[in-house]
Amino acid sequence: MSREIKLCLVYRDMWQSSGKYMPNADQLVKVASPIINMGCWDRIETNGGGFEQIQLLAGENPNDVLRKWTKPFNEAGIQTQMLERGLNALSMFPVPKDVRKLMFSVKKKQGTDIARSFDGLNDIRNLKLSIDYAKEAGMISQSCLCITHSKIHTVDYYINLAKQLIELGTDEIAIKDMAGIGRPSSLGKIVRGIKKYKPNIIIQYHGHSGPGFSVASSLEVARAGADIIDVAMEPLSWGTTHADLLTIHEVLRDDGFLIKDYDRKSYMEVKKLTQEFVDEFLGYYINPKNRLMNSLLIDSGLPGGMMGSLMNDLEKSHKSINKWLQKNNKKEISIDNLFTKLLDEVNFIWPILGYPPLVTPYSQYVKNVALVNVLNNIKGKNRWSLIDDNTWDMLLGKSGQLPGKLGDEIISLSKDLNKTFYDGVPHELVENILDKNREEMKERDWELGNDEEELLEFSLHKTQYIDYKSGVAKKKLADEILERKNNKPEEPIPSQTKKEIITIQDVRYEVEYLNEENNTSNTKNPPGKQILSPIEGRVFLTKDPKDTPVKVNDIVKKGDVICYIESMKVINAIKSEYSGKIVKVCIDEGDDVFDDDILFIIN
């Protein structure tokens, strides 16, 4: 007798795996109706992952967006699902328990039915609270096996992991093949092993297309007993995203599965609208390489969900390193060459860093360390010169237990820096923060929102929320779009101020280019030792707005933290290379800097 199999459209992940931004509320509501009319969907991935943060970066309120976006699916009886990062919730760093609990309550009330929870280290201790909080909020708890391929990530490893999650009370299991490097045969064996242990457990397969395995993997896991397959749609299927509905539908139907048919006219309408969103301005943030499949990803295992941000980061690093090469009379490097060097470096350092599954945020951590190593190698410097605090927390056990052993050089470096390893439960290190944030929001005269949803966003994405409330985010996006639209030179035109009007989603913005005379990098600097930026990114003089920033005439010691640079989704503490007196601060809060830009001058 033929077995039924269901489909989920990962509309959120289609965008995140392609580029940086997502459609706004009006666009999402517009595309919801034809998605529903297709008639083949049992589930839609609506939010989670970077969704909320991305909306804030675009100057949108993610709570308003999500309520409008989920409503049509709720009314149509199609289940909605979100992706959350366990200990890190919807952030890139550990989140307090009170914030995590509030998140599930808020997202359920905003219309999300299923919480797909994963831990980037496959440490089930980080998923226990996610399972408990999801079920307490009335959501379906789905726990992930983060798939990667190494000598320690075996079929038995994943089956045993699933058994433990089932015993913790999870309702469903997701095979999260975030880089698409799970081998079809092995994935089938994992599914069979889980079904043998718990025949009625729902298993959902999520596989990215990057290296090319996803179609074979979808068929193999379906034959092994998987119940739901995640798919994408044109124009954002394939490449670093997911296999297309049309292909997976035909493969499964031809193999004898019972599968709901789709309305082709509605498919074409969804395709047309999605392309319109791309053409309006979202396509400026989609690197063409992310629309291609690449078998080189088999070795590196970099996940599709981070490829959009990776290529955006790589473009910035490419400009930055070429500026350095030009300044030092060296031959420039192509972005293809830089990308290949990055993949090779990831392959090299991954075992040394303890084989963390390359999924958010740990894929970003490994990639960031690899990229800094590559840039330093080009400059003739040694590896491991800049490891951010979040990455150190991963290495030290504060984010969970690494699957493998650390390499000798990391152990040695940790001793040199007086780092302390931790083997306790990670969430016990994170203090509750909601009461403190409630008071801060009241001081700012900001509303906590329905069901305290604004408090949640402030607690999860504080910097981005402040920029959203101030209008900085919307203005910055307008500036970025105009720069990409006009392909304007990186440096402002000397002695000119230029104003232009740009329209984004029916809102007009006046964008003004800076006068070169205002560029502090051109002013004559006093004598002294220069502290240079080791990486491109956005400068913060303090980690907390209430802290006191370093200023002129301050005395600092070698190794003191003097500022922070937010780069590639993590905060890097920048330390002084010298002891002495600060004679000039060459940066302002929020400035964008490149490699080797002068941050401070010290005497």
pLDDT digit string (tens) for 51-82?
999 999 999 999 999 999 999 999 999 999 99
Q: DSSP secondary structure string, 141-199?
A: EEEEEE---SSSS-HHHHHHHHHHHHHTT-SEEEEEETTS-S-HHHHHHHHHHHHHH-T
Whichever domain contains 26, its CATH number is 3.20.20.70
pLDDT of residue 489 exceeding 50, the answer is: no
Residues 283 and 387 in one domain: no
Residues 324 and 312 in one domain: yes
Which tokens belong to 173?
A: 């299991």
Domain boundary among 483, 516, 549: 516
Residues 191 and 319 in one domain: no
Boundaries of domain holding 501: 434-516
Quote the pLDDT of residue 495: 36
Residues 361 and 509 in one domain: no
Domain boundary among 458, 488, 516: 516
Residues 389 and 538 in one domain: no
Quote the pLDDT of residue 361: 79
Mean pLDDT is highest, among 158-167, 489-498, 516-525, for: 158-167
Chain CA centroid to CA 154, Å: 26
- Is 423 a member of any domain? no
- Is 407 a member of any domain? no
Q: Would you place residue 517 in the very low, low, confident or very high pLDDT band (cuts 50, 70, 90)? A: very low
Q: Would you place residue 521 in the very low, low, confident or very high pLDDT band (cuts 50, 70, 90)? A: very low
Residues 238 and 328 in one domain: no
Alpha-carbon distance of 180 to 217, in angstroms, equals 9
Which DSSP category does 383 fall into?
A: S
Sign of the dihedral defined by the CA atoms of residues 588, 591, 597, 599, in that order: positive
- Is 408 a member of any domain? no
Measure the CA dihedral 311/316/318/323, to 10°: 180
Residues 153 and 182 in one domain: yes
Q: Would you place residue 360 in the very low, low, confident or very high pLDDT band (cuts 50, 70, 90)? A: confident
Whichever domain contains 583, its CATH number is 2.40.50.100
Which tokens belong to 114?
A: 């299923």
Residues 267 and 190 in one domain: yes
- Is 426 a member of any domain? no
- Is 406 a member of any domain? no
Residues 367 and 502 in one domain: no
Domain count, the chain: 4
Residues 336 and 390 in one domain: yes
pLDDT digit string (tens) for 384-440?
988 888 899 999 999 999 989 999 999 999 999 899 999 999 999 999 999 999 999
Residues 196 and 118 in one domain: yes
Q: Would you place residue 514 in the very low, low, confident or very high pLDDT band (cuts 50, 70, 90)? A: very low
Find the helix or strand (DSSP H, E) in which 52 lies: helix 51-57
What is the rounded average pLDDT for all residues in the chain?
89
Residue 242, beta-bridge partner list: 208
Q: DSSP secondary structure string, 489-522?
A: -SSPPTT---EEEEEETTEEEEEEPPPGGG-GGG
Domain boundary among 263, 288, 313: 288
- Is 307 a member of any domain? yes
Alpha-carbon distance of 397 to 178, in angstroms, equals 23
Residues 495 and 537 in one domain: no
- Is 420 a member of any domain? no
- Is 419 a member of any domain? no
